[in-house]
Structure formats: structure tokens, C-alpha cells
Amino acid sequence: MHIPLEKFKKIISRFKQLKIAVIGDIVGDIYIYGKPFKLSREAPVLVVRHDSETILPGSAGNTIHNLAHLGTQVFPLSILGGDEAGRSLMGQFSAMNVEMEGLIIAESRNTITKTRIMAGDEHTSKQQVIRIDREVKEPLQKDLEDRMTAYLNHLSDKVDAFIVADYGYDTATPLLLEKLKTVASRKIVVADSRYRLHLFSGMTAITPNESEAEVLAQETINTTQDAVRVGRRFVTELDLKAVLITRGNRGMVLVERSGEFYEIPICGSDEVTDVTGAGDTVAAVLTASLAAGASFYEAARLSNYAGAVVVMKSGTATASPDELVHVIEQDWTSQI
């Protein structure tokens, strides 16, 4: 389906007027860089000499970063620990000019982190040697859930749309999800959930990747027809307006409540640099586009363009409005 270039640009230009809330699991992505220089005498492993380290906002934090980079006003709703990782992430979110009221510091909890040891010689790309995950094992305390619920109620009439970035750490509790189902009757609510898609009935849309969709459907997706059939099941069984299934280098499949479906091929090269966080970008751009007045198909196309930008970057990455316009113009030029 043809969409005029100016239509895309008009949607993108509206991003800066939007207010979008992000509810979910913020993870600190910690990267420790070093140079391997010998084998350990203690065990058959490399010894890596520490060079530098950094922490970046991952999972729901990456969704927040993506929305902020698009120019939207972002209202996060999440829990961070009262530790060094939590303080660092709070500082980064403050620098992004996001609204800080819904970022709750829980002194009794640790911040969820994924620490990657990246080793390599000075002039070579670093390779991940091991990843160490620090998770939160105890359920969310009632007082924290009450604070989140109160802030969600406050946001329900204030923002244009909600994204639930659910990575299996249960920040989005069943109570919060029930509240969001009520909100979804009058607001856009998009769910990006890794393990609990079955809980997101009544939302506007979900954005599973192919493997996540296969788990929920309990069947294998090999073809576009398979993806369409699964998408139609989800729309009906979960009472959704749309499902966008991302399929890696096979593009995307959008299925709407009407039964209409669209196969959207990948944009640009299928030789990607890094797919880390691409799903966060897709959910962010889809939601922002819908809130800006785009149709589901227009929003899916824009999220596909955004995905093409970020997979060519290393690590969790974002796409700016200018980068979006540039990749759209390149795609148009290639079709002339």
C-alpha cells in the first residue's frame, strides 16, 4: 500500500507534541571492557585486564530512551534500587528530560542489571565472554504497588498513550494490568511482553517477535500465512485491535481486527550489526505513531524503518526523527 512521503514526515513531526507513559522493567545494561592477556592458572579461562565500563538503560529503560530521542515527553513508571546502578540510571533519565515522578527508588531492592564482560584486543571489536544477571527475586511489595497504581491513575488522563515493557520481572503486576485494561478503552496501550503475552487482553496492540508469538500460540511460524493465522488468533482471543509480529530478516506481519493483514519486508540490508533492543524501538515508534494519528499500517511501516536504523548500531540503540526521515527518503529513492 502506497503512503506519501509527506504523510510519514507529518506523523514524525507530531512526536514532539506527545506525552507517552512507559510501565515496566528497567534493567541496567552494564558493559565491562577489557583486553585478554593470558590464561588463568586457577581455571581454564581467560584473564581479562579491565579497561573501562559503562551502564546503559535497557529493557523498559531502552524504550524510555527511544521515546525521549524521538522528542516525546516520557512518563516512566518503574522501580529502581537504591544502589549505584539505580543512581546512575536516574541521572541518565534526568539528562533525557523525562518526567521523574514515577521512577520509584526502593532502598530495600537492588536494581536489575545484566553485566556483560566484553573482551578483545585494542583495535578489534570486543566479544562478549560471559553475562552475569542480577535479578530481583522477591515480589513487589504492596506499598510500592500502591504508589505505582496511584501514579498510573494520575497519568490516565494526562498522557496520550501507554507502553508496557514487560521483561519477566513483574514490575507490571496483575493489578496494574487490570487498571490498564480499563485505560485501554479510551487510550492507546501497546504491550511488548517477553513471557506473559496471554495477560494482555483488551489492550490496543501487542508487538511480539516471532519466537514469542510461537510460545503463546504453541505452534511454529514458518511462513507469512502462519504468522497471519497466529496474529488473527491473538486478535480474537485477546480482544486486540492489532498484532504486529516482527520476524527478523523476514520483516513484519501486521494483522488488524478487521482481518486485514500486511506483510512488511525489511528495509535496507539484511546484514545487521546488532539486534539488541530493536524490539524496544519498534514498540516505541509504533506507539508514538499511533498517538500521532497514524493508522496501524502507517505506524507499522514507521516502526519498520526505525528498526532498520537501530540494527545497524551496536548495543541498545535509538532512532532520531532525522534518522527516520533519512532512511525513509533513502528507501523512496531506491524505488524510483
CATH number where 283 lies: 3.40.1190.20
Say how far apart CA 305 and CA 215 lie, in whole Å.
26
pLDDT of 276 higher than 90: no
pLDDT digits (tens, 9 = 90+) for 198-218: 999 999 999 999 999 999 999
CA angle 204, 206, 208 (to 5 degrees): 175
The count of domains in the chain is 1
Q: Of 160, 280, 322, 331, which residue is the catalytic one?
A: 280
pLDDT digits (tens, 9 = 90+) for 22-71: 999 999 999 999 999 999 999 999 999 999 999 999 999 999 999 999 99
Q: Look up residue 47 and give its three cell numbers.
A: 584473564
- Is the pTM higher than 0.85? The answer reads yes
Q: Can you list the positions of beta strands (E) in the chain?
A: 19-24, 26-39, 46-59, 73-81, 103-106, 113-119, 127-134, 161-166, 188-193, 205-206, 242-246, 252-256, 261-264
Say how far apart CA 315 and CA 221 lie, in whole Å.
27
Q: Which candidate, 315, 320, 321, places its Cα nearest to that of 54?
A: 315
Q: Is 280 a catalytic residue?
A: yes
Say how far apart CA 98 and CA 330 lie, in whole Å.
31
Region 88-104 average pLDDT:
97
Region 78-89 average pLDDT:
97
- Domain span at residue 167 reads 5-335
